[in-house]
Amino acid sequence: MGNCLKKSTNDDISLLRGSESTRDASSSDQLGPPPPYEEAIPVYYPSPNVRRFASQLSEEEQIKIAKRIGLIQHLPIGTYDGSKKNRE
């Protein structure tokens, strides 16, 4: 078992710094710049052979697609009236 409370000397630190700098320089040369970040934009097909981005769909098309996917089947059908709340 080693002494983990031992104070590090300058020799120990210089060895670590030297190995890190050579490794970092060689790895960055091989990798090159990182690719640009691109977020995937959802694409929907409102009808066969018609492709549109989500931002280009009308409200009716969005509702139609949502019904197809099944996201709306669990939502309430009626309208919400906040005045009918039970007050204690």
Domain ranges of the chain: 43-77
Placement of tokens 């300058």 in the chain: 10
- Assigned token pair, 69: 């996917």
Q: Rounded CA gap, 57 and 46, in Å?
A: 8
Model confidence at 16, in pLDDT bands (50, 70, 90)? Answer: low
Helices of type H across the chain: 10-31, 59-69
Indicate the DSSP class of residue 72: S
Query: pLDDT tens digit string along 21-59?
Result: 445 555 555 777 877 877 788 888 888 888 999 889 999
Q: Is the pTM of this model over 0.75?
A: no
Cα 35 to Cα 32: distance, rounded to the nearest angstrom: 9
